[in-house]
Amino acid sequence: MTMGSSAQTVKAGEFKAKCLELMDRVAESGEPIVITKRGKPVAMLTPARDPSQTVFGYYKGRMEIVGDIVSPLDTDWGPAEPKPRPERKKRRAR
């Protein structure tokens, strides 16, 4: 095994022999391992994310809607009136 710039690299044959050990190491450390074949990267072993840790659905069951969120408001949401432009002083020709 060699240390790369940011991820550890392992030759495919070594990965095959130590697969379970490497999987445990990635799960504990969270650091990915790049698997190479003939010196070229072919795969990456990364830790699996816990589905409960994703952003989507994070607040499911934790929030409560209070009041009516469907009916229109009493506020006019139309376009704003443009502000009048201040008059510019005309320059004299020299």
Could you list the mean pLDDT of each consecutive 10-residue stretch along the chain, which spans 94 residues? 67 96 94 96 91 74 83 75 79 72
pTM confidence score: 0.49
Residue 4 has what pLDDT?
Answer: 43
Paired tokens of 32 = 């990915």
- Could you report how far apart the first and last alpha carbons of the chain are, in Å? 80
Other residues' Cβ atoms within 10 Å of the Cβ of residue 35:
19
What is the pLDDT, as a whole number, of residue 24?
A: 95
Query: Considering Cα of 43, then 44, then 45, then 48, what sign does the dihedral take?
Result: negative
